[in-house]
Structure 1
């Protein structure tokens, strides 16, 4: 049995943290589904920016849409939805076979809305309606402004991938927002089945502290934070509040490991995938990490559902505390940095589209579409 399938056997889904038109048109994504047990994917502005700058797969579509009077965000979301609808259709058999547990794709609202609750709600509802695919998550950051938006969007029946979570406390806030949205639906007599995942970012912890701690602590904090959060996740799933919702038919909001490519060249390229094998979770990984894990990955241990991992995690976090690392303060800092980074990627993406639009229509200024 392939190592990627072994992860599925223990209850963890592997999602690709990438989407490009080339992946779709070449059949590569379909091959990853059939050969490497990939059962979903995620996207973000950085991924689309890189895809559009790297090749010419989007050029003709950009030219046609520009000539039709489209620009900026409007043009981008048309391109992104075209890709994600195709991907959603590839994963639809998995979605149907698992009753909506797996087989998802994700599209992010504009990161420039991160501090605007009302605008985030409106954008999320509109984007999901445009896609007309049940297995499309709308990504909303778990920021102070994002949490109430998540509740309202779930209440509206729109599936949500909560992004930019960095701590147990961030995860709990996202989980409670999800449950409040489901509870409101039940109170109104609405269907409680609305999908969601909560995405905890891992490797950015280790990048942030690398130059502040001894070598013996390198690449250990992100995994410890994940193990601490996994305990909170298991506790929530066994809580009376969640059990009541589950009895009503609600789907659990699965915990998702994000940012799981290895950033330290001195560490193994499958570090986070191997360390975070865990039942009832998702790991979304870049293409390079997926291929490395498929080639030489190994499942060394599985996170248990008892308290053993949590005890280990707290011992590791205590070591960082002794080195002057305040994990609560750092989590807040990482979320702010992540929000700013996504906003920068968004602006870069808009600049890329504007530049391509101008270049691709420069020689045809008077051309009109038939």
Structure 2
């Protein structure tokens, strides 16, 4: 067995992807090294990642200046920059895509976060991105909103790989899974192949614990010191909700993939829509920095790690097969306990809030980046 936990992961049925993409990691060869030495099998990106990449590097300056001279809008310049990075990353991951028969080797790019509640706009932009990038191993990220689910079904039916992002609730994950299945069924009905299409369902983790932990602390303050037993009971829940939620989602995945509708598609070559653990960097310093890696190893899953968590896991992850299947009854009991009058945490409300906040966390850097590109273009272009 390898001494690098990241290289063990694949033998446990889980793939490691990285939640980061910059021109620097492509051009310096760092991405190739991560594939070779860290077992990297795929890559995701989002507007926040590109904002940091473009604003913190001069590697994009020439392209920004050229785009401005060609009188391109800031959005057109942005797309030209990220499309180039995505294409190059897709080429680097192409051998993994081919070796795994289309299971891994994907690079994800997100549609504009402004389209999160726009079905037609999401479909149109996803198709445009897919056709412009022209890489079989690109995945288009679509948020897990009510409108997003309708778009996902249509995109899968058109043969476009989809990464369903910003999933927080198990109910929303279930809708994403059935949208994928309906899209595949539409292709079967039209006598189109389904063995060359992939999708992942990105289930967010650390943001759940951050928000729930704050509510627990607020509830403890409301109870006061006279209710010490209740306070202690509440503190025992801190840091456990996100993993419990993921374990319940995994049981839902097993339930769906055991259904007759899925089995009929699987016989025709359909690939699992794998659960992808996202938001895996630990926000609370009191928790292990590899908390959302160690506890969520499972077959037919992906863990997408930011660079710092990737390196932390390479150094000190403690892995064992199918840990996602442990303490499942306790996970269900934990969610029941949140409804108790002493605790009173409405998880439906929490998860709905997280979805809308998640969209906003991509809208703000997206808008900021377009403004920054416009300002950079003016500064770089001689008057």
Q: What is the distance in 2 between the residues matched to 1:109 and 1:66?
A: 23
Match of 1:112? Answer: 114
Q: What is the distance in 2 between the residues matched to 1:93 and 1:301?
A: 26
Match of 2:337? Answer: 319
Match of 2:214? Answer: 211
Match of 1:52? Answer: 54
The TM-score with structure 1 as length reference comes to: 0.95
1:53-202 to 2 correspondence within 5 Å? 53-193=55-195, 194-202=197-205
Contact 1:93/1:103, CA 8 A, preserved across alignment: yes
Q: What is the distance in 2 between the residues matched to 1:202 and 1:244?
A: 32
Match of 2:16? Answer: 14
Q: Deviations over 1:88-130 (max 9, x none)?
A: 1111111101110111000000011111100110110111011
Q: What is the distance in 1 between the residues matched to 2:82 and 2:324?
A: 38
Shift of 1:212: 2.1
Contact 2:12/2:321, CA 8 A, preserved across alignment: no
5+ residue gaps, structure 2, are 217-233
Aligned with residue 328 of structure 1, among 348, 370, 382: 348
CA RMSD in angstroms comes to: 1.3
Contact 2:65/2:377, CA 8 A, preserved across alignment: yes
Are residue 252 (structure 1) and residue 254 (structure 2) matched? Answer: no
Shift of 1:296: 1.4
Shift of 1:144: 1.1
The TM-score with structure 2 as length reference comes to: 0.92
Q: Deviations over 1:181-223 (max 9, x none)?
A: 1100110111113111011111110110122224332211110
Match of 2:231? Answer: none
Aligned length: 361
Aligned with residue 26 of structure 1, among 25, 28, 43: 28
Shift of 1:61: 1.5
Runs of 4+ in 1 over 4 A off after TM superposition: none
Shift of 1:276: 0.7
Q: Deviations over 1:147-167 (max 9, x none)?
A: 101111111111100011101
Shift of 1:331: 1.3
SS of equivalent residue, structure 1 residue 199? strand
Aligned with residue 303 of structure 1, among 285, 305, 323: 323
Q: What is the distance in 1 between the residues matched to 2:154 and 2:179?
A: 9
Q: Deviations over 1:260-295 (max 9, x none)?
A: 100001111111011111111001110010011101
Which of 318-327 and 264-273 deviates more?
318-327
Q: What is the distance in 2 between the residues matched to 1:303 and 1:271?
A: 12
Q: What is the distance in 1 between the residues matched to 2:338 and 2:193?
A: 45
SS of equivalent residue, structure 1 residue 233? helix
Q: What is the distance in 1 between the residues matched to 2:57 and 2:339?
A: 45
Match of 2:301? Answer: 281
Shift of 1:299: 1.0
SS of equivalent residue, structure 1 residue 321? coil
Match of 2:286? Answer: 266
Shift of 1:310: 2.6
Aligned with residue 223 of structure 1, among 243, 258, 261: 243
Contact 1:279/1:303, CA 8 A, preserved across alignment: no
